[in-house]
Structures are given as C-alpha cells and as structure tokens.
C-alpha cells in the first residue's frame, strides 16, 4: 500500500459517507412532498418486508400530496398501515386503489425539532469522516513503522488526508445550511 492508495481509499470512503448523509437528509421532510420521503418504509409482502417502491408506484399528485398505487389490490391495506405506523407522522387515506398521503403543515416547533435532527445527523457524518481520517493516519504510521515510506511522506499523507477531511466537513456544513433553509421556509 502506498500513500496514494491511502488517500484514494479515504477519499472514496468519505464520499460514501457524504452520500449516506444526503440519503438521510432526503428522509427528513421539509413540508413539501417528495417520493423519497417514504422509500424507507417497509411493507409486509408475502411474509417478507420490502420497501414500498417494490410493491407500488409512488408518485407526486401535487406539491403537498404523495400518491401510492399498490400493484396488487390486496396490498392497499398493508401499505396504508405501514405508512400510518411509520415514524413520519403521516395520515394516509385510501380512494379506491390509490393511497393519498397528504403532507401536514409544519409548525414552528416541529421545524425547530427537524433542524435539531438535521444537525444531529450532520454531527454523526462528521464523526464518521474524522474516524476515516484517523484510520488513514494510522495506516500511514504503520507504513513508516514497516519502513515502506519515510516520515516526510507520512507527514504529506497526513496533510492530504486533513485537507480531504476539511473539504468533506465543509460539504456537510453546506448541506446542513441548505436543508435548514428548506425546513425553515414556510
């Protein structure tokens, strides 16, 4: 393993952390409807739990309503129950074989709670990035110990990894600002 391998490896892992953070942010609702909001909800389908998107068409009816149309008629009730029982606080209603999921207006208090949730998720993502930095620095130290690289190379490696860490932490902060703006916009 070389210094470049360490840098490329940590870069990829940090990018995956950012992608996971973006996916987590997409689940936090902003008052507008979007189909990604209910992607993580699991439905009992012949004894196994599967995501809603694998048993139904999920579409936007309007800016505040999600439409869910199960592919099988008998799945209407289980899908509706799964949405109602989820942690999103949604109250779906069935009209024939289409489930309408209206997005309730967010109160000021609920908006502030959601901002706290976003900041908590951001802190978790930052911790993951910092852990990756620590692991990369440990790998460089091991290479110095094994006399595969010089101490100067290790220092350069640590500087590169620190720059990566700073870049990804700044990206997390930017994503938090954007999401906070979306949540607080009435």
Query: Quick check: 132 pLDDT over 90?
Result: yes
Mean pLDDT of 106-129: 86
| CATH no. of 35-102 | 3.30.1360.40
Sign of torsion, CA 44 50 55 57?
positive
Query: Quick check: 53 pLDDT over 70?
Result: yes
Lowest mean pLDDT among 10-14, 94-98, 124-128, 174-178: 94-98
Please, which pLDDT band fits residue 47 given cuts at 50, 70 and 90?
Answer: confident
Which of 34-38, 61-65, 87-91, 161-165 tops mean pLDDT? Answer: 161-165
Distance in angstroms (rounded) separating the CA atoms of residues 117 and 183 = 11
User: Rounded to whole angstroms, what are the CA distances from 180 to 38, 89, 118, 161, 173?
Assistant: 20, 20, 8, 28, 10
Bigger pLDDT: 163 vs 62: 163
Sign of torsion, CA 53 121 127 4?
positive
- pLDDT at position 107, please? 79
Percent of the chain with pLDDT strictly greater than 70? 97
Q: Which residues pair with 65 in a beta bridge?
A: 62, 102
Nearest to 13 by CA among 152, 137, 165, 141: 165
Please, which pLDDT band fits residue 30 given cuts at 50, 70 and 90?
Answer: low
- Residue 151's H or E segment, with its range, is helix 151-184
Phi, psi dihedrals of residue 18, rounded to the nearest 5°:
-65, -45
Phi, psi dihedrals of residue 74, rounded to the nearest 5°:
-75, -5
Whose tokens are 């950012």? That residue is 18
Superfamily designation of domain 3-27+107-184: Ribosome-recycling factor (1.10.132.20)
**Annotated domain spans of the chain:** 3-27+107-184, 35-102
């Amino acid at each position: 393993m070389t210094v470049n391998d360490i840098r490329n490896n940590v870069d990829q892992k940090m990018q995956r952390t950012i992608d996971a953070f973006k996916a987590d942010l997409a689940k936090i609702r902003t008052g507008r409807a979007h189909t990604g909001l209910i992607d993580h909800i699991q439905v009992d389908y012949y004894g196994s739990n599967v995501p809603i998107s694998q048993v139904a068409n999920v579409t936007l009816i309007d800016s505040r309503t999600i439409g869910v149309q199960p592919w099988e008629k008998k799945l209407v009730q289980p899908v509706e129950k799964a949405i109602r029982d989820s942690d999103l606080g949604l109250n779906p209603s069935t009209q024939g074989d289409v489930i309408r999921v209206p997005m309730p207006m967010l109160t000021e208090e609920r908006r502030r709670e959601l901002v706290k949730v976003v900041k908590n998720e951001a802190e978790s993502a930052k911790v993951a990035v910092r852990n990756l930095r620590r692991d990369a620095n440990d790998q460089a130290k091991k290479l110095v110990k094994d006399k595969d690289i010089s101490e100067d190379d290790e220092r350069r490696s640590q500087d590169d990894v620190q720059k990566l860490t700073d870049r990804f932490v700044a990206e997390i902060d930017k994503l938090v600002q954007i999401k906070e703006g979306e949540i607080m916009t009435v």
